[in-house]
Amino acid sequence: MGLQYKIDVLSALKEKGFNTNKIRTEGLLSQSTLQKFREKKGVSWENLETLCALLDCQPGDLIEYIKE
């Protein structure tokens, strides 16, 4: 298992007023990063930082470690 998201990232972004079109057109996150969120895959530290800034949260609010 390892690390997994605690929240639905795209839904949380939408609640904050960031739909995928706005995110792409403003260059906040790439299409491939958005796809990784859809597939619940890991992203880079840089993208995690951007996500924390957009959602005004800490990394621990987004991800958790699940022991196998």
Read off the pLDDT of residues 44-66 as tens digits, 9 standing for 90 and up: 999 999 999 999 999 999 999 99
Percent of the chain scoring above 70 in pLDDT: 99
What is the mean pLDDT of the segment spanning 16-36? Answer: 95
> 60: domain range?
2-66
> Residue 68: exposed, middle, or buried by beta-carbon count in 10 A (0-12, 13-18, 19+)?
exposed
Q: 3-state class of 22 per DSSP?
A: helix
The domain that contains 50 carries what CATH number? Answer: 1.10.260
Residue type, 44: S
Tokens 């995110």 found at: 23
Our count of domains for the chain comes to 1
Note the pLDDT of residue 11: 97
